[in-house]
Chain A
Amino acid sequence: MSPRRTETGGRIDRLRTIRFTFDGAPYTGHAGDTLASALLANGVTLFGRSFKYHRPRGLLAAGVEEPNALVTVLRGEVREPNIPATMVEIYDGLVAVSQNRSPSLAWDIGALNQLGGKLLSAGFYYKTFMGPVIGPLKGTRFWMFCEHFIRRAAGLGRAGTAPDTSRYERMNAFCDVLVVGSGPAGLMAAKAAADQGGRVILAELEAKFGGSANWSGETIDGAPAADWAGRVVGQLEGNDNVRLLPRTTVWGYYDGNTLAALERVTDHKEVPAKGEPRQRYWAIRAKTVVLATGSFERPLVFPGNDRPGVMLAHAAERYANEYGVLPGERIALFTNNDSAYRSAVALKKAGAAVVAVIDVRSDVSNEMSRLASQAEAELLAGHAVVATEGGRTLAGLKVQRFELTSGALSGDERSIHADCLLMSGGRSPTIHLASQAGAKAMWNPARQAFLPPQPTQRWIGAGAFTGSFSTAEAIAEGRSAGLQAAGGSPSSAPLPVVEAAPGEPDPAPVFEIKAKGKSFVDFQHDVTAEDVRLAHREGFVSVEHLKRYTTLGMATDQGKNSNVPGLAIMAEALGKPIPEVGTTRFRPPYTAVSIGSLAAERFGDLKPERLTPMHDWHVANGATMYAAGLWYRPMIYGLAGETVEQAYVREAAATRESAGIVDVSTLGKIAVQGPDAAEFLDRVYTNMFSTLAVGKARYGLMLREDGLAFDDGTTWRLGEQDFLMTTTTANAGKVMQHLEYFLDVIWPELKVTVTSVTDEWAGAAIGGPKARAILAACVNATAVDNATLPFMGIVHGEIAGVPVMICRLSFSGEMAFEVYSGAGYGTRVWEALIEAGKPFGLVTYGLEALGTMRIEKGHVTGAEIDGRTTARDLHLDWMLSKKKPFIGSAMMDREGLIAPDRLELVGVIALDNRALNGGGHIVEELDEENPHDSIGHITACCYSPALGKYIALALVKGGKARHGTRAFVSDPLRNRFGPVEIVSNHFYDPDGSRLHG
C-alpha cells in the first residue's frame, strides 16, 4: 500500500496498476490517477524547483492551474516540457522528469540563489543587464555574456531538438450550443440544450466529465454527486445531437463566436490506435456558448506559503475524494472564508487528522464552528499563519492573533505541528474566455472577485463562473442557460435536489498576512509581495507596467492563481481600491497550445503536394526530386556515383551538344479569353500583345502598380480572342489574382475571362541542336520545319496519337520547343519524345541544368525579379512600350527607380575557379578580414559547362558600366573571398545564333 493512499474511496480503478517513472525512479499508480495524484500517493512531496530562487516546490493545486509541479514528458526522443503534473494522466511506460533543477531535484545548486535573495528582486533583470556603459562588456555585449548563464539557471523546462513525429489534425465544427466545462452547471446546460433538440458540443478539459461533482462529496437527488454526473453524461452520450469532447481545452474565444479548442486525443495512451492523431485542433462555431468554466480557489499570501506541503484546500479535497490520496497526515487549514470547513470535514472523513482551522475572521458562524468540531479540529478564529517550517516537506507552522480590519498581528507566535497546510483565500471565477470575448470584468466587493462582464458576444454564463459558488445555484443557472441558449423557454419543472455542506460564499477581504519572510504571490515566476511593493516604490504605478516589471502573472500559468492577490497588493500599495487599479485582460491561449496542433495537416504527411503528370516517370528513371513550393520537380537525373554538380553539368552539356528534355508542366498557365482579351493583355503587359498574330507567341513582362517588375513569361495567341498565358511556377497564383483583381475591380467593363489551366496541360521543353530532328521523327499531322514552325511560332499536331500543341521558344538558348498535351496524356507524349530522341542522344535534365543554361544565357527568374528590381535594372527596358499605358507605367520612372546607382543585372565570373554562392556580396577592395562597401550581390550561380568556369548572375551598382572590370566576392558566412570579373549577363551565345538554328 502506498503511504498516502486511502484504504477505500476515490474514483480510481484500484484493480488496475499502472507503472511509470519520474526522474528515473519507478512508481506505480492506478487507472484514473494523474501524475500528480500518483506521485502524491507514493509520498512524493517535492515536484520542482522554483524559477528564480530554486526553492523546493510541491503541489499547490489539483487541476490545470498548477504553477509548481511542471514536468517534462518524454516520448522517445521527443520532449514536451512545462506540463502540469496535475494534467498528465498516467499510462504504462510514462516517462516524466522534473525541471529547473541541477543536478537533481533533491540537491540543487541553484538553491544557493535563496541566500542572495535581494539580488533577484523585482526588475532584477532590467537593472543588472543594462550592463556597464563603457568598456569591453558595455551594453548588449554584457547582456549576451550573462544571458548564457541565465538561460541555464532560470527558466522552465527545456524544449527538445528531435523532430516531433506526431500527427495533428484540425477540425471545423458547428453547433447551436457549445458548453465549456462539465461541472454541474455545464452538465445541466448541455442536457437542457440537448433536450430542446439543439446540436450541442460539451467540452471538458479534464479526462472525466463532472467537474466538482467528482470530488465535492455532495449528493444530488440522493446519490453521490459523481454518480449523478455519470448518469447525466450517460444520457448525453445517447443523444445523437450531442458531441462530448473530454480532454478538450477551449483556449480561445474569437470574433463571430468562433472558439478554438485543443483535444488531447492520445496523450494519455501508451500506444495510440491506428490513425489517431496526437492532438486535434477544433475550430468551433457556436450560435451560443454556455460558459460554465467554474472558478479557481486562491492562495493566501503569507511567509513560507510556497513550501511543499502547503496546498489549496479544494485541491486537497479533490486528491482525497477523487483519487483516494491524502496530501498529509496532520493537516491544518488557513482560510478567509467558509469553504475550507467543508474541506476539513472531507479530509477528516478520508482518514487524516485535522489539527487546526485557522481563520482570519474572529467572527465565525455557529455552522462553521460545528463543522470544525465535526472535523475534530481546533478552531483558531481571528488568527493567521505567519510562518511555515520544514524543507522538502512541511514540518509545522506558526500562527499569531490577527486583526481583520487593520491586518495587525499580535500576541505570541504559536507553533502547530502539521505536515500539510491547506489555504483557502476565496475564489476567482474562471473568466478568461469571457475576457477574451470582449468587455472588462467587474469587481464584486462581496465576493472579492472579478465577475464576468456583460456579454459582448453570444454567450451565457452559469455556475461558479458567474460567482454563484453553490452547486444548487450551478444546477439552476446551468439549466436556465442551456434552455435559453437552445431557444427554449424557462422551465418551472423541479430541479435536482442538492445536499451540500453549509457555508456563505463571501470571503473576508484578506489577501496577505504581512510578516517577516518571503510571501509568494506568483509561484511560477517567484514574485513575492515585497517585489510588488518594491516595483511600486520605484515608480511603476500602472498595473500593466507593474506586471511587466515584476513579471507577475506572465508565466505559463498566466497568473491563474496570482492575478487577484497580486492586484490586491498593488491596490494597497497605490492606496486605491482594487477596481480602480483594474485588471489585465486575458488573452488566448487559456493554456499552452502545441504548435503542432496549429500547423495540423499543413505539416507532415497531410501536407498537400502537387505532382506533374510525368512525376512517376521521373521517379522511376532516377530523378532526385526537389520541392519547389508545393510542386515536386526533378532536380537531376543522376547516374551512379555522380555528384549533383557532375550530373547537371553532364545534362546541360549534352543538351547543348545534342538535345535535352525537361518537364515544364509546373509553369503557371492561364487562359485569357474574350473580345477584349488582347486589350487586357496590352494593359497588364509592358509590351504589345494586340499586334501578336494568331499562331504566334511573345515574351511578356508585367510590372506591379508601383512600377517594379512582377513576373515574366510567354503568352501564346491561339485565336483572335483566345490567349494562353504562361507565368513562372512560383508566381502562378499571384499572377492569377492580379489579373482577376483588375478584371473584377478596376476594369469590369472589359469582356475577358481568365481561367487557371495549369493542371490541364502537361508540358515538355525539348531543346538542343537535334531537337527539331527528334520532333520531326515523332510528330504527325504537321511539319516542324523552319517555315511551318518559325521562332515563336505555334503548330498543332499529334505525338503517339495524342493531340499536341508545339511552340518554338527557348529558355536554354538552344533551338527549343515546348510541347503541350492534355495532362492525362503527359507521360505518353513524354515517353514518345524520349523514344524518338534515343538515336539522337537526347538526355533528360532537371532544374539544376535548367538553371545552369538560363544563367549562361542571362535570363532572369524570381531570384532577379525579387520585388526590388525594375525592368531597367534587368535590361528589359526594350520591353517597355511607349505607345500605351500599362500597369506600372506611370510609376516606373520615379526618381528613385531611375537613379544611376541602382543595382543592375550583370554576369560574374570567378577568377579563382572556385564555386560562387547565392547571397555572396560583391566588394571593390581586397580586404578579406574586413569586407566593406558592398556594391551588390549574387542572385544565382552555377558551374558553366559552356564556359568551363564558375559563373553567376548578380545585381551590382553601376551595372553595364562595370563590364570588364574586376572586383571581389565576399561571402564571410561561407568563408569565401576571391577575385571575380564583372561581365555582361549574356555569357553564352549573346547574339542568339543557336536558338535560330
Chain B
Amino acid sequence: MLINCPYCGPRDVIEFTYQGDGNRKRPQPASQDLDAWNAYVYDRLNPAGDHNEIWQHSGGCRAHLRVVRNTVTHEILSTAFARGGHKSAGHKAGGNQ
C-alpha cells in the first residue's frame, strides 16, 4: 500500500502509523457527557468500503493525514493534512474529503 503524503509524496505504508478512525469527534475538553466520551473513545466505524482514517507519517515528516481508504481494495482515494490547509493528493482523481 502506498500513501501519498502531501508533503513527502507517495510512500510505503511501512512508514506510517495508523491512528484510528477519522470519523471520531472529540467532545469539548470540559464536556461531562459520558456518552459522547464513550462514543469517541470506543465506538469505531468498520465499513467495507471507503473509510476516513488518520495516519501519521511517523517514518517521514510526522504529519497526521486524513486518508480516505477503501477497506476492501486498499485503494487510497485521497490524502490531506489532518490540520487542514495546504495540499491534498490522491492516487487518482478524487478530492479532499
With beta carbons under 8 angstroms apart, the residue of B30, B58, B83 that contacts A745 is B83
User: What's the least CB distance linking A506 to chain B, in Å?
Assistant: 35
Interface-central residue, B41, B54, B58, B84, by most chain A CB under 10 Å: B41
Which chain B residues in 67-86 approach chain A with CB under 8 Å? 73-74, 82-84
A744-B31 in contact (CB<8A): no
In the complex with contacts A740-B62, A890-B37, A745-B54 CB distance below 8 A: yes
Measured in the bound complex, the distance between the Cα atoms of B27 and A746 in whole Å is 10
Across-interface contacts of A254 in B (CB, < 8 A): 1
Which chain B residues in 18-72 approach chain A with CB under 8 Å? 19, 26-27, 29-32, 34, 37-38, 40-42, 54, 56, 58, 62-64
B37-A891 in contact (CB<8A): yes
Measured in the bound complex, the distance between the Cα atoms of B52 and A638 in whole Å is 55
Indicate whether A382 reaches chain B with its CB closer than 8 angstroms: no
Measured in the bound complex, the distance between the Cα atoms of B54 and A662 in whole Å is 40
B84-A737 in contact (CB<8A): no
B31-A745 in contact (CB<8A): no
In the complex with contacts A740-B56, A748-B83, A894-B62 CB distance below 8 A: no
In the complex with contacts A706-B41, A885-B29, A890-B27, A745-B1 CB distance below 8 A: no
A587-628, CB under 8 A of B: which get 1 and which 0?
Answer: 000000000000000000000000000000000000000000
B19's nearest neighbour on chain A, judged by CB, is A741
Measured in the bound complex, the distance between the Cα atoms of B82 and A745 in whole Å is 6
A744-B2 in contact (CB<8A): no
B85's nearest neighbour on chain A, judged by CB, is A748
User: What's the least CB distance linking A914 to chain B, in Å?
Assistant: 43
In the complex with contacts A741-B19, A741-B56, A256-B64 CB distance below 8 A: no
Across-interface contacts of B29 in A (CB, < 8 A): 683, 885-886
Indicate whether B97 reaches chain A with its CB closer than 8 angstroms: no
With beta carbons under 8 angstroms apart, the residue of A256, A683, A890 that contacts B34 is A890
Measured in the bound complex, the distance between the Cα atoms of B80 and A745 in whole Å is 12
B82's nearest neighbour on chain A, judged by CB, is A745
User: What's the least CB distance linking A756 to chain B, in Å?
Assistant: 9
Q: How many residues of B contact A (CB 8 A)?
A: 28
A886's nearest neighbour on chain B, judged by CB, is B29
Indicate whether A705 reaches chain B with its CB closer than 8 angstroms: yes
A256-B2 in contact (CB<8A): yes
A744-B83 in contact (CB<8A): yes
Measured in the bound complex, the distance between the Cα atoms of B62 and A744 in whole Å is 10
Interface-central residue, B29, B34, B38, by most chain A CB under 10 Å: B29
User: What's the least CB distance linking B36 to chain A, in Å?
Assistant: 9
Which chain A residues in 732-757 approach chain B with CB under 8 Å? 737, 740-741, 744-746, 748
Indicate whether A255 reaches chain B with its CB closer than 8 angstroms: yes
Across-interface contacts of B17 in A (CB, < 8 A): 737
A254's nearest neighbour on chain B, judged by CB, is B1
Across-interface contacts of A740 in B (CB, < 8 A): 56, 62, 64
User: What's the least CB distance linking B96 to chain A, in Å?
Assistant: 15
Across-interface contacts of B56 in A (CB, < 8 A): 737, 740-741, 744
Measured in the bound complex, the distance between the Cα atoms of B38 and A302 in whole Å is 64
Measured in the bound complex, the distance between the Cα atoms of B40 and A705 in whole Å is 9
Measured in the bound complex, the distance between the Cα atoms of B37 and A885 in whole Å is 13
B64-A745 in contact (CB<8A): yes
In the complex with contacts A705-B41, A740-B64, A745-B64, A255-B1 CB distance below 8 A: yes
B64-A741 in contact (CB<8A): yes
Measured in the bound complex, the distance between the Cα atoms of B29 and A285 in whole Å is 44
In the complex with contacts A740-B56, A740-B62, A890-B32, A255-B74 CB distance below 8 A: yes
B40's nearest neighbour on chain A, judged by CB, is A705
User: What's the least CB distance linking B18 to chain A, in Å?
Assistant: 11
B30-A256 in contact (CB<8A): no
Measured in the bound complex, the distance between the Cα atoms of B1 and A172 in whole Å is 14
User: What's the least CB distance linking B1 to chain A, in Å?
Assistant: 5
User: What's the least CB distance linking B2 to chain A, in Å?
Assistant: 5
Across-interface contacts of A890 in B (CB, < 8 A): 27, 31-32, 34, 37
Across-interface contacts of A894 in B (CB, < 8 A): 34
A274-290, CB under 8 A of B: which get 1 and which 0?
Answer: 00000000010100000
A744-B63 in contact (CB<8A): yes
Across-interface contacts of B38 in A (CB, < 8 A): 891
Measured in the bound complex, the distance between the Cα atoms of B34 and A705 in whole Å is 12
A884-902, CB under 8 A of B: which get 1 and which 0?
Answer: 0110001100100000000
A539-578, CB under 8 A of B: which get 1 and which 0?
Answer: 0000000000000000000000000000000000000000
Measured in the bound complex, the distance between the Cα atoms of B40 and A890 in whole Å is 11
Across-interface contacts of A705 in B (CB, < 8 A): 40-41
Measured in the bound complex, the distance between the Cα atoms of B63 and A891 in whole Å is 27
Across-interface contacts of A706 in B (CB, < 8 A): 41-42
Across-interface contacts of B27 in A (CB, < 8 A): 890
Across-interface contacts of B12 in A (CB, < 8 A): 172, 283
In the complex with contacts A737-B56, A745-B54, A748-B84, A256-B41 CB distance below 8 A: no
Across-interface contacts of A258 in B (CB, < 8 A): 1
User: What's the least CB distance linking B62 to chain A, in Å?
Assistant: 6
A891-B1 in contact (CB<8A): no
A699-716, CB under 8 A of B: which get 1 and which 0?
Answer: 000000110000000000
A894's nearest neighbour on chain B, judged by CB, is B34
B54's nearest neighbour on chain A, judged by CB, is A745
User: What's the least CB distance linking A863 to chain B, in Å?
Assistant: 25
B58-A737 in contact (CB<8A): yes
Across-interface contacts of B74 in A (CB, < 8 A): 255-256
Measured in the bound complex, the distance between the Cα atoms of B96 and A858 in whole Å is 51
A745-B19 in contact (CB<8A): yes
Across-interface contacts of B2 in A (CB, < 8 A): 256, 285
Measured in the bound complex, the distance between the Cα atoms of B54 and A748 in whole Å is 14
A963-993, CB under 8 A of B: which get 1 and which 0?
Answer: 0000000000000000000000000000000
User: What's the least CB distance linking B75 to chain A, in Å?
Assistant: 8
Across-interface contacts of B26 in A (CB, < 8 A): 746
Measured in the bound complex, the distance between the Cα atoms of B40 and A254 in whole Å is 33
User: What's the least CB distance linking A735 to chain B, in Å?
Assistant: 13
Across-interface contacts of B34 in A (CB, < 8 A): 890-891, 894
B2's nearest neighbour on chain A, judged by CB, is A256
Across-interface contacts of A741 in B (CB, < 8 A): 19, 54, 56, 64
Across-interface contacts of A885 in B (CB, < 8 A): 29-30
Measured in the bound complex, the distance between the Cα atoms of B37 and A706 in whole Å is 9
In the complex with contacts A256-B74, A740-B62, A744-B64, A891-B83 CB distance below 8 A: no
Measured in the bound complex, the distance between the Cα atoms of B57 and A770 in whole Å is 47
Across-interface contacts of B62 in A (CB, < 8 A): 740
Measured in the bound complex, the distance between the Cα atoms of B22 and A741 in whole Å is 12
B28's nearest neighbour on chain A, judged by CB, is A885
A706's nearest neighbour on chain B, judged by CB, is B41
Measured in the bound complex, the distance between the Cα atoms of B31 and A886 in whole Å is 11
Measured in the bound complex, the distance between the Cα atoms of B54 and A737 in whole Å is 13
Which chain A residues in 506-555 approach chain B with CB under 8 Å? none
Across-interface contacts of A172 in B (CB, < 8 A): 12
User: What's the least CB distance linking B14 to chain A, in Å?
Assistant: 9
Across-interface contacts of A737 in B (CB, < 8 A): 17, 19, 56, 58
List, sorted by A's number, 17 A–B pairs whose CB atoms are closer than 8 Å.
A258-B1, A283-B12, A705-B41, A706-B42, A740-B56, A741-B19, A741-B54, A744-B56, A744-B63, A744-B83, A745-B54, A745-B64, A748-B84, A885-B30, A886-B29, A890-B27, A890-B37
Chain B contact residues, CB within 8 Å of chain A:
1-2, 12, 17, 19, 26-27, 29-32, 34, 37-38, 40-42, 54, 56, 58, 62-64, 73-74, 82-84
Known: A255-B74, A744-B83. 5 other contacts (CB 8 A): A285-B2, A705-B41, A740-B64, A745-B19, A745-B54
